[in-house]
Amino acid sequence: MIRAALVCVGLIAAMAMPAFAQGPPAAPAEAAAPAAPLQWQSLSPPQQHLLQNYQDRWNSLPPDRQQALARGSQRWLSMTPEQREGAQQRFNLWRAMPPEQRQLLRQRWQQFKSLPPEQQQQVRESFRRFRQMSPERRSELRRQWRQMSPEQRRNFLHRAPPPPRPHGR
């Protein structure tokens, strides 16, 4: 469990990255097909209101950016007020990050998305368990990870995963 929690530490921020104005990374097949331009009038009135700052330059935006903004606005409109508040906080954290840190998180996100679905689910479960730990335990795990050499970290990450724990324990 500790190893799994440490693996997810590197992916925590990537999993929490805001996606308000960004779509998910395109699959290779989708990347070959260019996005179709969206007409401003094709957006719903709530989407137009949300994206009003883009109205004057909408037609000059690349079609993939238009599509990403439309998807992001639709996601935003489908969120509860609590979800919107959390997304806004994550977005503000993202914008406050230095460009180098953003790039690192983008790379980690790509690494995560390249994992098979079963491994993605394992990472999500490890993240959930990590978040349920006390702040003191999480700090201790981070401290242990920072003290490991790169080789120790590699060895730690490449060991066989621990057997699943039975439910109820």
- The DSSP code sequence of 70-135 is HHHHHHHHHS-HHHHHHHHHHHHHHHHS-HHHHHHHHHHHHHHHHS-HHHHHHHHHHHHHHHHS-H
164 — pLDDT class (breaks 50, 70, 90): low
Assess if residue 91 is contained within a domain: yes
Q: Give the residue numbers spanning the domain of 142.
A: 2-21+81-158
Task: Classify residue 148 by its DSSP letter.
Answer: S
Assess if residue 58 is contained within a domain: no
In whole angstroms, what is the distance from residue 19 CA to residue 75 CA? 9
Sign of torsion, CA 92 109 12 77? positive
Assess if residue 70 is contained within a domain: no
Assess if residue 126 is contained within a domain: yes
CB 23 within 8 A of CB 76: no
Assess if residue 45 is contained within a domain: no
Assess if residue 11 is contained within a domain: yes
Q: Is residue 15 scored above 80 in pLDDT?
A: no
Assess if residue 167 is contained within a domain: no
pLDDT digits (tens, 9 = 90+) for 79-127: 999 999 999 999 999 999 999 999 999 999 999 999 999 999 999 998 9
165 — pLDDT class (breaks 50, 70, 90): low
Domain total of the chain: 1
Task: Classify residue 76 by its DSSP letter.
Answer: H
29 — pLDDT class (breaks 50, 70, 90): very low
Six-digit token string for 61: 């935006």
Six-digit token string for 51: 């994206």
In whole angstroms, what is the distance from residue 7 CA to residue 153 CA? 10
Q: How much is the mean pLDDT over the chain?
A: 80
Assess if residue 34 is contained within a domain: no
